[in-house]
Chains A and B, each alone.
Chain A
Amino acid sequence: MTNLVKAERALTTQKVREEESQYLTFLLGKEMFAIGILSIKEIIEYGQVTSVPMMPSFVRGVINLRGQVVPVIDLQARFGRPSSLVGKRSCVVIIEIRLSPEQEQHVIGVLVDSVSEVLAIAPAQIEKAPQFGAKLRPDFISGMGKVDDKFVIILNVEKVLSVDELSALTERVEDSRQD
């Protein structure tokens, strides 16, 4: 029974992939990025973030999402750039990721400077990630979407928000403080 459901689910995701997928585009600084819409749970206004001490700069803190405590990641800082300045249009995009079917689902918030729109991009319009030049770790990019003759970087959310990697990084911060 569960296998059936899984198979069906795989089928639908495949269908979506074959046809065109929808992406949420947003701005970080002046650059445009996109995230596949299927992993996005909701978008909320930035506010009431409690900072957690002894965390690397890319962890902005935690917020209360209707009773659930959710960490907020500063994408700019995660990409090794200066942290985002919070403005009027700053938003937190709430993302649900499951790294493997066995693992439980993680809910993580991502701080972006502003949310633009939802775009449909056909697979034919997506190019491979460049080996270098994007000023971004190549494994963070799942592809480059062509929109109006401009490129939008489609992020590989699983990699960018890899819980294992993030928590390893937070530990390293602690070590470096101790030394």
Chain B
Amino acid sequence: MNMEQAFQTFLAESAELLQDMEDKLLGLENCEDATESVNSIFRAVHTIKGSAGLFGLDDIVAFTHVVESVLDDVRSGSFVLDEQLINLLLQCKDYIGKMVDSIEGESVLMTAEDLQLQQALTNTLSGYLNKVHSTSPATMLVGINETDDYQSVSVIESDITIANENWHISVYFGVDVLRSGMDPLSFLRYLATLGTIVHIETVTDGMPSPEDMDAESCYLGYEINFHSNATKNQIEDVFEFVRDDCQLKILPPYAKASEFIAIIESIQTDELKLGEILLRCGTLTQRELDDLLHLQTSVKQGGTHRLIGEIVVADGLASSEVVTAALHKQAQGKKAKEKQAQTVRVDAEKLDHLINLIGELVIAGAGVESEAHLTGIGSLKESAQTMTRLVEEVRESALHLRMVQIGETFNRFQRVVRDVSKELGKDIDLQINGAETELDKTVIEKISDPLMHLVRNSIDHGIESPALRAERHKPVTGNVTLNAYHESGTIVIEVSDDGGGLNKDKILQKARANGLVSPDTELSAHEIYQLIFEAGFSTADAVSNISGRGVGMDVVRRNIEALRGTVEIDSEYTVGTTIRIRLPLTLAIIDGFMMKVGDVFYVLPLDIVEECIELNACHSEGQEGRHYINLRGEVLPFIRLGDYFCKSQRKAKRENIVVIKYGNLKAGFVVDELMGEFQTVIKPLGPLFERVPGISGSTILGSGEVALILDAASLIHLVMQRDGKAMSVAAQQSALH
């Protein structure tokens, strides 16, 4: 793992931790189990601080440190998490997120405005800290040291206490530290953020002769005289990432001489030399060193009994704090392991590559099967069929790899609803349904922005003010509901509210005033609602900082259309609005229905194909020029794909109509030949064909030929537009005559 990869992991991890922190904070507001939540919030901040330190991001370390201190006090019960503090912590979380986002190289680039915010946050946080410390002047740290001293003094009176008020840290990195992507320097740098390194001595005894040296191995050790108010735990955590890969000894201030002896003995180097190193570090004075060496020899002379006793005592010394830390760590490790078993982090690129390969496999499989059919050998056909079935299963599960539950995206809106509704003085509840509905990860990523916009709109324009709600005999608490479900191969996401609804007349009036609609045109309710997706259209009388500028809804529609989706609105004035987004499940492979027009193969998504019927004489009788048929009493308009695409008048002997249904659109496509179901791997057509309407992509058939995938919705819209234009032109012309 190199540093760049580690850094990417840091970014991803921070985002996750911050999200977790936000969830927990919001949960606290709803009176969830406090201790566990506070602990995990603390852990989140702590881990970010630790990792940021690793990368030398001092600004983040400094800020998170303050947040962490406050949380630590909350954890120890010095004060309770009230709403005010939760608000503050949410702001801190946002700010940390912002800092992480603005990392450039080794520093965090923040604007002056942000720095002001940081100052304000830090001040408020310190306010909390001061409150605690004025009420309980003795810090935890002192407490621990006192007990330590007390214990040791009571157990061994004969031991000498070294008169050094600093910590002594002895760290010897393992040979593989560099190989696992850790830089010893980062740890020291991070250590320096906890206090002052009074003196550091590099021990190079592990270094072999130049010819035996491996440039990728680490042979260094450090003896550090360290002045800090941090606890032993905190110092230990500095080295958490290399904990298993290094020899670490941390001696508290006023440590026992016996402990120094233990260090001297454990490090395989010249005893005298290490003594000198300690001397140079300023940890020991010359007299203490002499005493120490004396004590050591006397220990040796005194026989093993004493030595063992001291080791036991040393163990005893390590007691409470160290043991609990170890247990805590073990528990954490276990938890992490459980989580690892549940999910594997995979590079999205690798996944895409796999899906591409499976796409090719599907194509190749289709080729094999059609060849097998041609040979007419029964057993071969059978094997080919089995293979096709298996390939299909592989395809299904590969696609599922990319599927993510939408719940996580939905949950993010809790915060938005909470913040925005408070800002507006409204009382709003967010309800989430169908959180377990799965859809493609790329789709989810691209849909979250438009969704955000719709939710904000619902809060700002949708839900009325409490006073108006009371007047309308509605409960004061407004409801915004997010809902997701599958429907005939598409996923439907609904954003609904029980607010004021859309005022049809007002929209129409505004549209006429803007010149979007000519004054004498009559529009259906549905068409009127679609107007709000026009660029620059807003009916809000006042522009707020949340919405109302009229940019946005058109962007929402564009984003959704880019995903081959549609958006529609249901609304009733004073009752509420529902905005329904319909999206394809995946962007990579679809079940297709293949047909032939002229010499070209076309594919429609199978999910939208309702039925196929023959276009026989009685259908088209007396209908010359008119494009609709009577489908069991229903009027079904149709499009002659041959005319539309090729302009050729050549007609096949038997034409067929493919009846499609997309949302509330129902239409028929007249084609020359029906080919049947086909597993379709969508291949982009490239930038050259990007702007071709009616065609959304291409696929490669088993024969190696290219077939085009039709975008039914845009094709129908295009025809509708063209017909509309032709009609108005004709009307104008007849008016002129």
Contacts and interface: CB of A to CB of B under 8 A. Distances in A.
Contacts of B707: 50
Contact of B688 (A51, A68, A166): A166
A167 B360 CA distance: 28
B688 A54 contact: no
Nearest to B356: A67
Contact of A163 (B600, B601, B645, B687): B687
Contact of A71 (B600, B688, B704): B688
A178 B725 contact: yes
B520 to A, nearest CB: 24
18 contacts: A48-B706, A50-B600, A50-B706, A51-B599, A51-B600, A52-B689, A52-B692, A64-B700, A64-B705, A67-B683, A69-B684, A70-B686, A106-B686, A106-B687, A167-B688, A167-B689, A167-B691, A170-B691
A62 B599 CA distance: 13
Contacts of B706: 48, 50, 61-64, 69
Interface in B646-665: 646
Most buried by B among A59, A62, A108: A62
A58 to B, nearest CB: 11
A53 interface: yes
Contacts, number: 81
B325 to A, nearest CB: 43
B690 interface: yes
Given A106-B687, A163-B687, A178-B725, A52 B700 contact: no
Contacts of B688: 59, 71, 108, 163, 166-167, 170
Contacts of A69: 683-686, 698, 700, 706
B601 A53 contact: no
Given A69-B706, A70-B686, 6 more contacts: A50-B708, A64-B706, A167-B689, A170-B689, A178-B721, A178-B722
Nearest to A62: B706
B708 A174 contact: no
A106 B686 CA distance: 8
A71 B686 contact: yes
B692 A170 contact: yes
A167 B698 contact: no
Interface string A138-179: 000000000000000000000000010011001100100010
7 closest Cβ contacts across the A-B interface? Answer: A53-B645, A50-B706, A69-B683, A171-B691, A69-B698, A64-B700, A71-B688
A67 B360 contact: yes
B687 A50 contact: no
A122 interface: no
A67 B687 contact: no
Contacts of A163: 687-688
Contacts of B645: 53-54
A121 interface: no
